[in-house]
Amino acid sequence: MNTKQFLAIGFLLTAVNCTLSAHIFEDISLWWKTKEEEVVTHEHKLSPGAHISIENNNGPITISTWNKNSIMLEATKSGSEQSVKNTKIDLTYTAKGLSIKTVGLKPDKTCTISFAIIVPVDAHLDSIKTEQGNITVKNSATPLSLSSNYGDLTVIDAQSSINAHTKYGQITISTTSELKDDNKVLAFTERGAITMHVPEKTNAHLYATTLRGSVSTEQPVTLDPRTTPINTKAIAQIKRDVQGSLGSGQGPTFKLHTNKGNIKLAVS
């Protein structure tokens, strides 16, 4: 191949690359232009101790609390123009409280909805669900039930029982000294780490198991009695299956399980 042929091929490849880049940029620009966003806001009074449930298809849910007997909701819908139009937010008030649900007029063409919600501190969050997305709850004084198929679950400064379940995601929980003896913290994930922060010198009973991973604690644990051989396999099993008492053991129950991931009990 002579110099002229080499240069000709080089110019041709450059032209092809420029054409492809132009098409890609054009496609991205077209997608960006068709991206729609709509913000829905809602505020309403609630009875003391109201029960609230939230069900979202695709998108995160963030919940915080305040000392008002009302709920404030901000939902940001994002997606194509058609998917935003096809996705509605259904608010149903009952004598007990409120149900919030994402409804797709065409289930296969729904947009992403990000919920930011403030609820009364004494509201009961009976069921908080999203198919895809993270869930975060801050400063709740009542029992919580959280679930996501694909997303992380975070509970900050919980003062009561927790039931947290995700298929693919991490779980992070911090509790306060307000937990009562009959409270239970249940955390389960199929794939993901679990981290739980507890106050120093917490009294509780701990069940922490992982099939693939290890369990570690910053607070000493008095292990429940078990009969086991002393070998490498048995020691490895103890690191994956920890059952015992924190402090006196007289207090709430912590049950933490992951199929694949590490579990850590940290002191806050």
Cβ contact 188:241 at 8 Å? no
Say whether both 61 and 74 belong to one domain.
Answer: yes
CA distance 248 to 235: 25
Tens digit of each residue's pLDDT (9 = 90 or more) over 54-95 = 999 999 999 999 999 999 999 999 999 889 999 999 999 999
CA distance 223 to 238: 10
Residue 49 region by backbone torsions, left for phi larger than 0, else alpha for psi between -120 and 50, else beta: left
16, pLDDT greater than 60 = no
Q: What is the pTM of this model?
A: 0.84
Say whether both 194 and 256 belong to one domain.
Answer: yes
Number of independent structural domains in the chain: 2
Whether 26 is in a domain gets the answer no
Cite the beta strand spans of 139-252 per DSSP E. Answer: 144-150, 153-158, 162-168, 171-175, 184-191, 194-198, 204-212, 215-217, 221-223, 241-246
Whether 141 is in a domain gets the answer yes
Tens digit of each residue's pLDDT (9 = 90 or more) over 202-256 = 999 999 999 999 999 999 999 998 888 888 888 888 899 999 999 998 899 999 9
Say whether both 144 and 199 belong to one domain.
Answer: yes
Whether 226 is in a domain gets the answer yes
Domain termination site, one of 109, 133, 157: 133
Say whether both 268 and 163 belong to one domain.
Answer: yes
Say whether both 109 and 149 belong to one domain.
Answer: no
Say whether both 190 and 106 belong to one domain.
Answer: no
Say whether both 85 and 174 belong to one domain.
Answer: no
Whether 11 is in a domain gets the answer no
Whether 6 is in a domain gets the answer no
Tens digit of each residue's pLDDT (9 = 90 or more) over 178-196 = 889 999 999 999 999 999 9
**pLDDT value, residue 1:** 55
Kindly report the length of the chain: 268
Cβ contact 112:79 at 8 Å? yes
Say whether both 43 and 59 belong to one domain.
Answer: yes
Whether 217 is in a domain gets the answer yes
Whether 16 is in a domain gets the answer no
CA dihedral 93, 98, 104, 108 (to 10 degrees): -150
Say whether both 265 and 225 belong to one domain.
Answer: yes
**pLDDT value, residue 17:** 52
Domain termination site, one of 133, 163, 186: 133
pLDDT band at 3, cuts 50/70/90?
A: low
pLDDT band at 144, cuts 50/70/90?
A: very high
Say whether both 56 and 175 belong to one domain.
Answer: no
The whole domain housing 216 covers: 137-268
Phi then psi for residue 109, to 5 deg, are -135, 60
Say whether both 110 and 185 belong to one domain.
Answer: no
Task: Find tokens 């029960």 and name the residue.
Answer: 51
Task: Find tokens 């099939």 and name the residue.
Answer: 211
CA distance 257 to 172: 13
Domain termination site, one of 100, 133, 166: 133
Whether 12 is in a domain gets the answer no
Say whether both 146 and 201 belong to one domain.
Answer: yes
38, pLDDT greater than 90 = yes
**pLDDT value, residue 87:** 93
